[in-house]
Structure 1
Amino acid sequence: MTQIPTAFTIAGTDPSGGAGIQADLKTFQELKSYGMSVITSVVAQNTTGVQRVHHLPVEMIEQQLDSVISDIPVHAFKTGMIANKDMMKVIAKRVSDLDAFYVMDPVMVATSGDSLIDQDSRHFLRENLLPLTTLVTPNIPEAEFITGDKIETTDDMKQAAEKIVEDFGADAALVKGGHMSGKAVDFLYDGMTISTFTADRIDTKNTHGTGCSYSAAITAYLSQGIPLQKAVQKAKHFVTAAIKHSFELGSGSGPTNHWATREEAVKQ
């Protein structure tokens, strides 16, 4: 490693700043990793939903990837919204030989409920990108799609994490329990053991960009050489604080607070 940890995000944009590339870069900065990005799609969205999506030409995505990879060492990277199979093919080709941790946030549906990738792309992601990952971080609907199984209990979540690793080739899977009731419980399976990460559930509608920020935090910590289980634990704390101190901005699902842990540290 160089002295400066670097983290790299490949995703779509959010001009309102709560999710996507913007949330990833804010998270990297807060956690002291040098952030870089490749934009896949320009998304007109805000706290109420997605208004329009413009996908960049595949050649431009490929050039962005080459520009970064050929010049600056990459210690860890993540993918978020990758809207179609052609994009995924180029990304798979460029990152397959990259000596870096790969965190996949399998973004399929926005917090608002808007679908972000087509069905054909979902299948390609499952069959071709998943085997390249260090960690995949699905919520329950995403884990249901990947595994083909209904998830209704915490045991179902654990079994889904195991299946994603053992049947689909991810190195590790973190199945997130945000769609469950009660405590906010996530399960990590690393091919050997199941680890549980629990936080109080926060009663707020302001959860815009939580998945992006959580996976970006894990990516940042991995870029610093922190082991996977500890990286997830620290990222869980980061995103829980961000939700707890989220912002009343916009008329929909407001954004989380990326500097919340900084404020909490000052108060202690």
Structure 2
Amino acid sequence: MSYSIPSVLTVAGSDSSGGAGIQADIKTVESMGLYAQSVITALTAQNTLGVYGVFDVVPDFVCAQMDAVFGDIRPQAVKVGMVSSTDIVSAVARGLSEHAAPNVVFDPVMVSTSGSRLISQEAIDALVRELFPLATLITPNIPEAEVLCGMAIETPQDMESAARILFGMTPGAVLVKGGHGAIDADDLLYLGGSCRWLKGKRVETENTHGTGCTLSSAIACGLASGKEVFEAVLQAKRYVSGALRAGFAMGKGNGPLDHMWAHREAFGSLEA
């Protein structure tokens, strides 16, 4: 007897500490019962304290990885994360277009949790021009939305204004993520021409390394499984909230979430 399951492709940078990027994406996809594939756009030397180096993959090899994936186990959804140069942006955009990639969730990674800049201004301009038009959903956090929109975001009303601006850059939906500064952990989904607030409670923890990567991957899992955008986002928020509440403590800085929290709970391996 044989079977298959939906596949999710993650196109992102590698995190040597295992908490964000490709590693977080793979953990998320597998924890949600789907099959993970990857296209690595950059290697990073990083840990929970910061990013110490970024080594970009040659664009032609990014294309080769995408061709290999789509030529065999075709993914039902694609999550795109760190793309740090204009050439890599173009390579990823070309691959997504040539292979008619479905359900593209784009997390415009610009700054790490520790505050390290991960992408050039030229690359930001390129991703808006080349990748945003291919997205089913974009998921900027507040600092990223501020960069993209050229405005300060300090209130819920600011979030709504930013969402409308971002919606003008993409044919898909927009999720502006809360949880930064004075704004609570309420996210704003701009979908079908209207704003929908998704309420959430802030989890008091410093271990948030890879939160954005995890959320976008979890959303891609929902889309790959046949859920509509709204349901996929709600499912992903529940997953990330559980991973933050688990109380994981790894590293000396901003530690990672516990991607396997639900499995530990199910098997009774979490301490009381």
By the TM > 0.5 criterion, same fold?
yes
Q: Percent identity?
A: 43
Counterpart in the other structure of 2:29: 28
Counterpart in the other structure of 1:160: 162
Unaligned segments of structure 1, at least 5 residues: none
Write out aligned runs for 1:149-188 (5 A): 149-165=151-167, 167-181=168-182, 183-188=184-189
Structure 1 residues 16 and 104: CA distance shift in structure 2, 3 A: same
Counterpart in the other structure of 2:64: 63
In 1: Cα distance, 2:150 partner to 2:227 partner: 32
Range with greater deviation from structure 2 (104-113 or 176-185): 176-185
Instruction: Give TM-score, length-normalised by structure 1.
Output: 0.95
In 2: Cα distance, 1:228 partner to 1:10 partner: 20
In 1: Cα distance, 2:108 partner to 2:237 partner: 18
Provide the aligned length of Structure 1 versus Structure 2: 265
Instruction: Give TM-score, length-normalised by structure 2.
Output: 0.93
In 1: Cα distance, 2:134 partner to 2:28 partner: 23
Counterpart in the other structure of 2:107: 105
Is residue 75–residue 101 contact of structure 1 (8 Å, CA) maintained in 2?
A: yes
Write out aligned runs for 1:152-231 (5 A): 152-165=154-167, 167-181=168-182, 183-231=184-232
Q: Which runs of 4+ in 1 moved over 6 A?
A: none
Structure 1 residues 148 and 245: CA distance shift in structure 2, 3 A: same
SS, match of residue 83 in structure 1: coil
Out of 137, 140, 145, the position equivalent to 1:138 is 140
Instruction: Tell me by how many angstroms 1:197 deviates.
Output: 1.4
Instruction: Tell me by how many angstroms 1:3 deviates.
Output: 4.9
SS, match of residue 250 in structure 1: coil
In 2: Cα distance, 1:120 partner to 1:211 partner: 22
Instruction: Tell me by how many angstroms 1:265 deviates.
Output: 5.3
Counterpart in the other structure of 1:54: 55
In 1: Cα distance, 2:154 partner to 2:39 partner: 36
Out of 126, 129, 143, the position equivalent to 1:127 is 129
Structure 1 residues 249 and 105: CA distance shift in structure 2, 3 A: same
Unaligned segments of structure 2, at least 5 residues: none
In 2: Cα distance, 1:249 partner to 1:160 partner: 34
Instruction: Tell me by how many angstroms 1:94 deviates.
Output: 1.0
SS, match of residue 40 in structure 1: strand
SS, match of residue 64 in structure 1: helix
SS, match of residue 202 in structure 2: coil
Q: Does 1:13 align with 2:23?
A: no
SS, match of residue 152 in structure 2: coil
Is residue 77–residue 100 contact of structure 1 (8 Å, CA) maintained in 2?
A: yes
Counterpart in the other structure of 2:245: 244
